[in-house]
Amino acid sequence: MSTVGLLSKFSEWNNARHEKFLSEMQASGSCPDCRGRGFNSYSPNEFYYSNVYDCSGCNGSGLYSDWAESQGEM
């Protein structure tokens, strides 16, 4: 298998994995960006206090419908 063939197979696998994740999030009604929590946190390491901020994908609601609307999918 050539390098180009290997890269295309990896890309296909990654796209299929992402589509599966999105369909699972849609089935549960959860935002894919924050996994339904409504917030994201950033922690540079495990010993540092993390900053919590509202999810920009769903505007803090944690709902798939709000995420899809912000993505222009609805």
For the entire predicted model, the pTM comes to 0.73
Q: What SS3 class is residue 14?
A: helix
* Confidence class for position 29, pLDDT limits 50, 70, 90: very high
pLDDT value of residue 61: 92
Mean pLDDT of the chain: 86
pLDDT value of residue 41: 77
CA 72 to chain centre: 15
Residues 13-22, mean pLDDT to the nearest whole number? 95
